[in-house]
Chain A
Amino acid sequence: KAGVTQTPRYLIKTRGQQVTLSCSPISGHRSVSWYQQTPGQGLQFLFEYFSETQRNKGNFPGRFSGRQFSNSRSEMNVSTLELGDSALYLCASSENAGGEKLFFGSGTQLSVL
């Protein structure tokens, strides 16, 4: 079974730009969650999608948004990038909604200059 795939692996953007990250879950998994990982704050929950519906949202500004498609693939968008958005963005998939037994992707390393 293929694992969780995230693209691109690395991104360099400048302040004010927007970015879209992609996540393909494990086949059969209907839940996709997104996390931001930084050295200072650790792993912070962004949002979760299950069957194309956002189930939960973390404490992030509205510049962070996402969506899920009918094939369970998910995208995350960050608009008007700020320096503080530099981080590793991880997506995780699971069979069911909620946070149990997450399988993480390798992440997208975003650098905002």
Chain B
Amino acid sequence: GENVEQHPSTLSVQEGDSAVIKCTYSDSASNYFPWYKQELGKRPQLIIDIRSNVGEKKDQRIAVTLNKTAKHFSLHITETQPEDSAVYFCAAPYPPGAGSYQLTFGKGTKLSVIP
């Protein structure tokens, strides 16, 4: 199946700094890459997603970049705020390129934004 590796597992940044989380995937046919945010004790929520025909997508302070050649995609959060503190999960589809698939999630990155 698809193998998704996520780094780092923990990340601490000062408020106002940027945070970057990176995921690598194994199958070059994968074509959809979402990011989910899970605050402590709450449900995961989709914050941004990207398709393989796009190299970058932005939504206010959040952006995702995709490098298909290297098979990795990254989440960028700028001007971090304390409310950005959460666990972030990346995911990739399996089987890749299929019309109906399951998501394979990375193990998560715990982001702490220090005021």
Q: List chain A positions with a Cβ less than 8 A from chain B.
A: 4, 33, 35, 41-45, 48, 50, 55-56, 58-59, 90, 97-107
Contact-size category for B: 20 to 34
B36 to chain A, nearest CB (A): 8
A104 vs B49: C-alpha distance when bound (angstroms) = 15
A110 vs B42: C-alpha distance when bound (angstroms) = 16
Please state if A42 and B93 are interface contacts (CB–CB under 8 Å). Answer: no
Provide the residues of chain A in CB contact with B91, threshold 8 Å: 43, 99
A112 to chain B, nearest CB (A): 21
B71 to chain A, nearest CB (A): 18
Please state if B106 and A99 are interface contacts (CB–CB under 8 Å). Answer: no
Residue of B nearest to A103 (CB): B46
B22 lies within 8 A of chain A by Cβ = no
Q: Which of B43, B100, B105, B107 has the largest number of chain A CB atoms within 10 A? A: B43
Provide the residues of chain B in CB contact with A90, threshold 8 Å: 43-44
Please state if A106 and B100 are interface contacts (CB–CB under 8 Å). Answer: no
Please state if A98 and B100 are interface contacts (CB–CB under 8 Å). Answer: yes
Provide the residues of chain A in CB contact with B10, threshold 8 Å: none
B109 to chain A, nearest CB (A): 11
Please state if B100 and A50 are interface contacts (CB–CB under 8 Å). Answer: yes
Provide the residues of chain A in CB contact with B46, threshold 8 Å: 101-103
Please state if A105 and B43 are interface contacts (CB–CB under 8 Å). Answer: yes
Please state if A99 and B93 are interface contacts (CB–CB under 8 Å). Answer: yes
A55 vs B101: C-alpha distance when bound (angstroms) = 8
B6 to chain A, nearest CB (A): 9
Provide the residues of chain B in CB contact with A50, threshold 8 Å: 100
Please state if B32 and A45 are interface contacts (CB–CB under 8 Å). Answer: no
B52 to chain A, nearest CB (A): 13
